[in-house]
């Protein structure tokens, strides 16, 4: 539900780059969304397709969304481990089996590149 | 041609959140982000805290509501500064809070409660610059919620289980709640609150007093 406002922020950011770099039209935009965010890639894409039509440099832009793995630190053995998929079940430490972990990375929502 | 860019889509919000946080520290105001589902008892808890802490601390409230001014009116009756924000979205963001702060006399507020929009998902993603995050959730919502909304519970400094007078009527295991939250959060404190039991507010008020001393320092300037 909150993807509408973040997609608008994404578009504002792209337009800022487009203006600074005097770009006429953008072919592709690469973004990455961390697995521990609550931003649904499907919804971001849906809103992007809807909103982009209002901005001439973006009318033909394709959005490429990469799901970025997260990193957790085990609260018991202290080791870090990667979490590749969206958490439908809470992560568990693969080293010692503990279910008590801390999210270190995976809350990012980044714009990585523009293809022009 | 590919142009590499490395920017956070939420950078505008993150920057404004830092500005808000600095402002709270400068004014020595403990800004508490109060989050939880619609109907979990956020306004009732704030009301109890005003009654308990109001003698010793100057309290202010920012009310983020999707529609209506019922909550803001209820709290303004205590003679404290209340700012209502009509939020057209599912969460408060740092910009919106900054707008509300223009009408909030921060130099005369020791504890500022910012009541977020009733929702367990979106408010977790948007830093508003608070110094403390309090997540409420009521017994009728069920004891599995921390597993369903992990991000929100992973960020909480305090979790308050509300409406505990209903415990005899529901299958609700508080030890299960505590363990589920601890899976992603090593720092939170858990409290139980019932508006029917006036004593149950004391540990929460005590926690806020301790956090006031720790985060903004000293005693309130009354």
Which class does domain A3-115 fall in?
A: alpha beta
Is B216 inside any structural domain?
no
> Distance from CA of residue A102 to its chain's centroid?
20
Q: Give the model confidence (pLDDT) of A83-102 as tens digits.
A: 987 656 788 899 999 989 99
d(CA B178, CA A30): 39
d(CA A97, CA A92): 6
Report chain B residues whose CB lies below 8 A from the CB of A6.
9-10, 125
Based on the structure, what is the number of domains in chain B?
A: 1
Nearest to A2 among B4, B7, B125 (CB): B125
Is B6 inside any structural domain?
no
3-state secondary structure of B183: coil
Phi-psi region of B3 (alpha: psi -120 to 50; beta: other; left: phi over 0): beta
Is B193 inside any structural domain?
yes
d(CA A36, CA A22): 35
Cβ neighbours for A44, distance < 8 A, ≥ 6 positions apart = A3, A6, A7, A10, A31, A33, A63, A65
Report chain A residues whose CB lies below 8 A from the CB of B93.
5
Strands A70-74 and A101-105: antiparallel
Is B60 inside any structural domain?
yes
β-pair partners for A62? A28
Burial class (CB in 10 A: 0-12, 13-18, 19+), B195: middle
Cβ neighbours for B157, distance < 8 A, ≥ 6 positions apart = B132, B133, B134, B187, B188, B189, B211
Per-residue pLDDT of chain B (222 residues; tens, 9 = 90+): 999 999 999 999 999 999 999 999 999 999 999 999 999 999 999 999 999 999 999 999 999 877 777 778 888 889 999 999 888 777 889 999 999 999 999 999 999 999 999 888 888 889 999 999 999 999 999 999 888 888 899 999 999 999 999 999 999 999 999 999 999 899 999 999 999 999 999 999 999 999 999 999 866 755
The full set of domain ranges for chain A reads: 3-115
Residue A77 near chain B (CB below 8 Å): no
Q: What is the pLDDT of residue B182?
A: 93
Residue B24 is part of which domain span?
Answer: 11-211
Phi-psi region of A22 (alpha: psi -120 to 50; beta: other; left: phi over 0): left
Is B97 inside any structural domain?
yes
Is B222 inside any structural domain?
no
Cβ of B121 within 8 Å of Cβ of A111? The answer is no
The CATH number assigned to the domain holding B42 equals 3.40.50.300
Q: What is the pLDDT of residue A1?
A: 66
Report chain B residues whose CB lies below 8 A from the CB of A21.
3
For residue B147, how many other CB atoms are within 10 A of its CB?
Answer: 18
β-pair partners for B151? none
Helix (H) or strand (E) holding B143: none
């Amino acid at each position: 539900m909150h993807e509408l406002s973040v997609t608008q922020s994404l578009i504002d950011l792209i337009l800022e780059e487009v203006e600074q770099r005097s770009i006429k039209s953008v072919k592709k935009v690469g973004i990455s969304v961390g697995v521990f965010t609550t931003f649904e890639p499907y919804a971001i894409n849906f809103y992007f397709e809807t909103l982009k039509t209002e901005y001439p440099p973006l009318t033909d832009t394709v959005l490429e969304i990469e799901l970025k793995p997260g990193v957790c630190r085990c609260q018991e053995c202290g080791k870090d481990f990667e979490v590749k998929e969206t958490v439908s079940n809470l992560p568990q430490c693969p080293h010692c089996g503990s279910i008590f972990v801390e999210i270190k990375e995976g809350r990012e929502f980044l714009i990585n590149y523009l293809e022009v | 041609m590919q142009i590499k860019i490395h920017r956070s889509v939420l950078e505008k919000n993150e920057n404004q959140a830092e500005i808000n946080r600095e402002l709270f520290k400068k004014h020595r105001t403990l800004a508490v982000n109060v989050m939880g589902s619609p109907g979990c008892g956020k306004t009732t808890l704030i009301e109890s805290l005003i009654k308990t802490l109001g003698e010793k601390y100057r309290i202010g409230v920012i009310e983020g509501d999707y529609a209506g001014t019922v909550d803001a009116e209820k709290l303004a009756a205590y003679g404290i500064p209340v700012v209502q924000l009509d939020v057209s979205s599912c969460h408060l963001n740092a910009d919106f809070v900054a707008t509300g702060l223009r009408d909030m006399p921060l130099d005369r507020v020791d504890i500022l409660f910012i009541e977020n929009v009733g929702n367990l998902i979106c408010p977790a993603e948007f830093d508003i610059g608070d110094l403390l995050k309090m997540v409420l959730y009521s017994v009728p919502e069920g004891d599995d919620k921390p597993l369903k909304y992990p991000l929100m519970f992973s960020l909480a400094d305090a979790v308050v289980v509300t409406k505990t007078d209903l415990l005899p009527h529901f299958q609700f295991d508080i030890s299960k709640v505590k363990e589920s939250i601890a899976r992603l959060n090593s720092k939170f404190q858990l409290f139980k609150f019932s508006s029917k039991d006036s004593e149950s507010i004391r540990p929460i008020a005590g926690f806020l007093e301790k956090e006031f001393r720790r985060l903004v320092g000293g005693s309130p300037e009354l």
